[in-house]
């Protein structure tokens, strides 16, 4: 039985983080690497993911950047094909990549943008989970299980946020898929959990945080009185990725400063 602190270690594990070139994905990749994992980082613009991978390598970790558009099934197939052929295993998948091209009332939302949001946030996460589970199910069990899948949802998936209704619906789907996959994959020894961040200071949230009326209204609802920083999500992801959470599956960990 490892000590409580050792159960957070990920030495010898391979972890894939999608959308890891900045923001929350970068913070999660850094936390997992610091715990000993080897990282595969994806984003559409591979140069940015490569910069994160290079910084991790300079700090003494192992990291590889691969281009992958989460809205393209062929990219996802190529990514997991490469993981199977080059590493032959996958211990942790963090489904972090997401998009939100829509701000404003849902009744005015453009059909193409709605489709894109669902393709990246829901279908992409679902396809990655299917392919990761197929690799994980074939590998030997280790402390914490055969694999851990961590889905980055949002408080908007638990309570729709005004102005981002379509995005909120995709995150509700992510939470529902988390619970469904947790049930379906438990027998294979694969755990599936979600994190629901509140407002975290990244490029993604800039449109909300940099609009004074929205920011002030949001801050009034956050008991801790401040927006989140990406590293706070990194710590939560490390807990769910590692054997520290070996008896946790199908859960949604809300990291929102008390917003929910
Ligand atoms: N920030 C918040 O307040 C907040 C709150 C709740 C939940 N979240 C969730 O946290 C996750 C990360 O958000 P963030 O705030 O860190 O955003 P961010 O700073 O904008 O980073 C997004 C990352 O995803 C990648 N990405 C975007 N579209 C992609 C696509 N179609 N395929 C593959 N990669 C893609 C981006 O790289 P490329 O552009 O190069 O592809 C980048 O690496 C998302 O799931 C988001 O919904 C964020």
C-alpha of residue 201 to centroid of ligand 1, in Å: 12
pTM of the entire predicted model: 0.98
How many angstroms separate the CA atoms of 79 and 42, rounded?
9
Q: Which residue has the tokens 């469904």?
A: 180
Q: Where residue 143 falls among pLDDT bands split at 50, 70, 90?
A: confident
Ligand 1 atom closest to residue 100's alpha carbon, by position in its atom list: 47
Please give the mean pLDDT across all residues of the chain. 96
For ligand 1, whether the C-beta of 157 sits within 6 Å is: no
How many angstroms separate the CA atoms of 36 and 248, rounded?
21
What pLDDT, on the 0 to 100 scale, is given for residue 197? Answer: 98
Atom 25 of ligand 1, nearest CA residue: 19
C-alpha of residue 228 to centroid of ligand 1, in Å: 15
For ligand 1, whether the C-beta of 44 sits within 6 Å is: yes
pLDDT digits (tens, 9 = 90+) for 2-42: 799 999 999 999 999 999 999 999 999 999 999 999 999 99
* Residue from 18, 20, 23, 206 whose mutation best tests the ligand 1 pocket (most atoms within 8 A of CB): 23
**% helix / strand / coil in the chain, to the nearest 5?**
50, 15, 35
What pLDDT, on the 0 to 100 scale, is given for residue 6? Answer: 95
Phi, psi (degrees; rounded to nearest 5) at 241: -75, -25
**Any idea what DSSP says for residue 161?**
P
How many angstroms separate the CA atoms of 83 and 131, rounded?
10
**The token pair that represents 111 in the structure block:** 């059909």
Q: Where residue 180 falls among pLDDT bands split at 50, 70, 90?
A: very high
What pLDDT, on the 0 to 100 scale, is given for residue 71? Answer: 98
How many angstroms separate the CA atoms of 177 and 237, rounded?
18
Q: Which of 67-71, 88-92, 139-143, 185-189 has the lowest mean pLDDT?
A: 139-143
What pLDDT, on the 0 to 100 scale, is given for residue 257? Answer: 98
Map out the domains of the chain with their CATH numbers: 6-254 (3.40.50.720)
- 247 catalytic? Reply is no
CA trace torsion 62, 240, 22, 18 (10° rounding)? 80
Ligand 1 atom closest to residue 96's alpha carbon, by position in its atom list: 45
**SS3 assignment, position 231:** helix
For ligand 1, whether the C-beta of 28 sits within 6 Å is: no
How many angstroms separate the CA atoms of 88 and 95, rounded?
19
C-alpha of residue 96 to centroid of ligand 1, in Å: 6
Instruction: Give mean pLDDT, residues 173-192.
Output: 98
Q: How many whole angstroms from its chain centre is CA 15? A: 11
Phi, psi (degrees; rounded to nearest 5) at 74: -65, -35
* Residue from 17, 18, 19, 178 whose mutation best tests the ligand 1 pocket (most atoms within 8 A of CB): 19
Ligand 1 atom closest to residue 208's alpha carbon, by position in its atom list: 3
Report the DSSP beta bridge partners of residue 151.
95, 194
What pLDDT, on the 0 to 100 scale, is given for residue 145? Answer: 86
What pLDDT, on the 0 to 100 scale, is given for residue 207? Answer: 84
Q: Look at the alpha carbons of 10, 11, 15, 17 in this order and tell me if their dihedral is positive or negative.
A: positive
């Amino acid at each position: 039985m490892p000590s409580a602190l050792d159960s957070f270690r990920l030495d010898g594990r391979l972890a894939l983080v999608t959308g890891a070139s900045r923001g929350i994905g970068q913070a999660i990749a850094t936390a997992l690497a610091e715990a000993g994992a080897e990282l595969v980082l994806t984003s559409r613009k591979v140069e940015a993911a490569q910069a994160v991978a290079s910084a991790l390598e300079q700090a003494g970790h192992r990291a590889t950047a691969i281009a992958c558009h989460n809205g393209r099934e062929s990219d996802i197939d190529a990514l997991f094909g490469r993981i199977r052929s080059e590493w032959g295993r996958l211990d942790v998948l963090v489904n972090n990549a997401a998009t939100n091209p829509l701000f404003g009332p849902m009744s005015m939302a453009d059909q193409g943008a709605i489709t894109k949001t669902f393709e990246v946030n829901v279908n992409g996460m679902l396809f990655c989970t299917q392919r990761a589970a197929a690799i994980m199910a074939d590998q030997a069990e280790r402390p914490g299980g055969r694999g851990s899948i961590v889905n980055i949802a949002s408080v908007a998936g638990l309570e729709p946020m005004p102005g981002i209704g379509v995005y909120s619906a995709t995150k509700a789907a992510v939470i529902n898929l988390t619970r469904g996959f947790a049930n379906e994959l438990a027998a294979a020894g694969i755990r599936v959990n979600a994190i629901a961040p509140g407002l975290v200071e990244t490029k993604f949230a800039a449109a909300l945080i940099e609009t004074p009326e929205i920011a002030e209204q949001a801050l009034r609802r956050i008991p801790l009185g401040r927006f989140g920083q990406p590293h706070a999500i990194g710590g939560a992801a490390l807990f769910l990725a590692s054997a520290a959470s070996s008896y946790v599956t199908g859960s949604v960990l809300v990291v929102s400063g008390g917003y929910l």
